[in-house]
Each structure stands twice: as structure tokens, then as C-alpha cells.
Amino acid sequence: MPKRTKGMRPGGKEAPAGRPRSGRRDRATTNRVTAMSHPLRARILRLLSDRDVMSPAQLSRELQAELSDVSYHVRALEKLECAEEVFTRPSRGAMEHFYRATERSLIDADEFEELDPVVAEDLVCQAIQRILDDFVDSRKAEMVGYDKHFHISRTPLILDPEGYEEGMQAVERCRLEMSKIESRSVERRAESGAPGISTAADFLFFKVPGASFDN
């Protein structure tokens, strides 16, 4: 059965103390925080990360936002090097431009603290909602729980501050390993032409009131 642990980290791993970030990392960090500092732009980036390639028109329909606003923020993401144009195609007498995210929209602990509180709250709620949506969609498709190929478990823990930090690091190691597995899968699929298996890898690790253990 799958594992539901406690703890959501806003994103990636903090840089080790005393180790300066590279100029490229500093620029990427600044750009990512800027990209995620506007609610609509943050939603666009997350959708591009999830769906791979989309046009502003498709994003506009999905997000139920004005096309002019979406186009503006997509161009802003491109300037911030968080998105890139991959191809165009004719559509209704004009050219439709398609974009993809250049990196996953991960926010580490330091970056999270720099975000506007409203945007930060939206990011957390959106992340949890997507996890719930993944589960509902999988159940409707008769996937999760219909065979043995899934893992869900709930592991109540009582940790001291050091143990809690160790848990955060363990979750981050697992996330990074899953990213490596995905990269290797992409390479193998490119050679074999094998179909991809849509998979949700959700890692939950957060503090809860003691009474929650009774639920």
C-alpha cells in the first residue's frame, strides 16, 4: 500500500551552508521567484510543466483567463528563461505559438520565503489540489487500487527538530531519484518508441496537530 507521509516542502533543497551558488543558479533562482510572484504567471508555469507543450490559446482556455493576459505572461516567462517556444503552426489565418517550461517550477525554502504571502498560499493549495485531482482521476480510470501497482501508506511520526530536518532531506533525495528515473525513461523511450505511462509521484511530509493521529 502507498505511503502518505507528513510534510510538504515548498520545492527543492536548500543550498548547503557556506557553499556559494553559481552565477547561473543565482540568476535561475531570481528568475523563478519573479516568475512565481504573479498568481496567473505561476499557474501558467505550473501548467506548462505538467502538460509539456501548450499555446497561449490553450492555456487561456484551460485557465479561463483572457488570452491577452496569458500571452503577456507567457512572453514574460520566456524573457525570464522559464519557458521557451518550441514550434509554431498555422491557425485561423495566424501562427499559433507553442511553449514549454525550461525547468520544473520548484521553489526551495529560501525562495518560498521571498514570495508574496498570497502567492505562497496559492502555491501550497494548488499543489495539494493537484494531488487530490490526480487521485480522483486515477480512481475514475480504474487504476489506483484496481491492481497491485501502487503505494499508499500513512506513517504517523513524532520527531524532534533534527529528525524533522532529516525527514525533509530524505523526501528530497527520493524526489531527485524519481527525476533521474524519469530522465532515463525518456532516453529509453526515444530509442524504443515505447509509450509513456502517466504517473503521479506525490511526496507528502508535513507537521500536523497531535489529534490528527487519532483520525
Which letter does DSSP use for residue 131 in this model?
Answer: H
How far apart are alpha carbons 56 and 97 in whole angstroms? 7
State the CB neighbour count (10 A cutoff) for residue 17: 5
Which domains are delineated in the chain?
23-208 (1.10.10.10)
Of 90, 99, 105, 104, nearest to 58 by C-alpha is 99
Decide if 104 contacts 49 (C-beta within 8 A): yes
pLDDT of residue 77: 93
Each of the 215 residues of the chain gets a pLDDT tens digit; together they read 333 333 333 333 333 333 344 444 467 767 777 887 788 898 898 888 877 789 999 999 999 999 999 999 999 999 988 899 999 888 877 889 999 888 665 666 666 777 777 777 777 777 777 778 888 888 888 888 888 888 887 788 888 999 989 998 998 899 889 888 988 988 898 889 888 888 877 776 666 656 555 55
Q: Taking the model in full, what pTM does it have?
A: 0.52
